[in-house]
Amino acid sequence: MDSTNISKKILYWYDNNKRLLPWRKHNSKRQKQYFTLVSEFMLQQTQVKTVIPYFEKFVKKIPNLKRLSKINDKTLMKCWEGLGYYSRAKNLKKTAKKIVIDFKGCLPANIDTLKTLPGIGDYTSNAIMAIAFNIPVIPLDGNVERILKRVLYLKKDYEITKESLNKKKLIFGASKRSSDYAQAIMELGALICKPQNPLCTKCPISKNCVSYKKKDFGIVSKNKFNKIKYFEANIYKDKNKFLLIKNSKFNFLKNLFIFPMREVKQKEFNSIINKKINIKMSNMDMKIVLNTRNKKIKIKNSFFLDKNNINTYTLPSFTKKILNSVSKH
């Protein structure tokens, strides 16, 4: 496969079709680095279209790394509220602090050093190297993975391991415009080689694509089963007020406000006949039974949230979902 040709085709397509995403508009190298860092943290578990308004609000309020390193946690959480996976926000601030203290405020342009920073793993370090520093690496995200699997028609288990896919990336070749090129491949996956119904007639590399020739676009994934866990949430309600506690018990949503909850066995869960809801978390599917109790009690580290003033609190989406559900009750 002629990889120079592939990179030219993909870049030409990108130049004519790329989205004007807010983190692609910057005034200086330093701002590009900051925007890349913030957007890559936000995009770690969230889709582009959800991230856009959050990113815009975030950089307006916290315009540079130095400000981020000193931002108080309440403001930080307010900027992140609703985006979920709050540990990302905390890690982002820790990373900013470390960069200011240990690296004189400059994002390090070294993959191993980047990986020592909180919240930066394999993918994010590669993305930063390519996008912010124009280093010829191609980060392996879901979009790049899908294109590889389709172009090379990879179906067997041993072909789709991370290690194997990282080697297969060679088909993309390289470009002097490494920053644009990394974004171009990801953009091609997001806009054209979509998970369902890929738009092959608009694809610049359809001639190189085995799946297109075979008209078989199925993607084989390694099985990722989410665990199902069962919980009981106690909704202590006093007119329009609901009791929330600061979570120090569960590993998810640490230190955020949730309804008092406990994990239960499936058998016990099934035996309770109150309203039940499902909430998907990054690593588990939660099934929650809601026990509404019309009384006031006192629990350590708790407060009564007034639903009429909900916007004045920083709450995880998880708690808002339960709140909406019990308000309709």
The span from the CA of 34 to the CA of 36, in Å, is 5
Residue type at 66 in one-letter notation: K
Helices (H), 247-301: 266-271
Residues numbered 259 to 318 that lie near ligand SF4 (CB under 6 A) are none
The span from the CA of 46 to the CA of 26, in Å, is 22
Nearest distance, CB of residue 214 and ligand SF4, angstroms:
10
Residue 184 binds ligand SF4 (CB under 6 A): no
Q: Is 56 a known active-site residue?
A: no
The number of angstroms, rounded, from the C-alpha of 166 to the middle of its chain's C-alpha atoms is 21
Contacting ligand SF4 (CB under 6 A), which of 41, 55, 58, 217? 217
- In contact, 314 and 81? CB cutoff 8 Å: yes
**Which residues sit opposite 241 in a β-bridge?**
238, 306
Q: Which is nearer to ligand SF4, 190 or 277 (CB)?
A: 190
Q: Which stretch binds ligand SF4 (CB under 6 A): 120-128, 204-212, 232-240, 283-291?
A: 204-212
Residue type at 320 in one-letter notation: K
Site string for ligand SF4, 128-147 (x = CB under 6 A): -------------------x
Contacting ligand SF4 (CB under 6 A), which of 59, 205, 286, 305? 205
Q: Which is nearer to ligand SF4, 13 or 252 (CB)?
A: 13
Contacting ligand SF4 (CB under 6 A), which of 212, 257, 259, 318? 212
Residue 62 to residues 20, 86, 93: CA-CA distances in angstroms?
Answer: 21, 17, 11
The span from the CA of 243 to the CA of 172, in Å, is 54
Applying CB under 6 A, which residues contact ligand SF4? Answer: 147, 150-151, 192-193, 198, 200, 203, 205-206, 209, 211-212, 217
Q: Which residues are catalytic?
A: 40
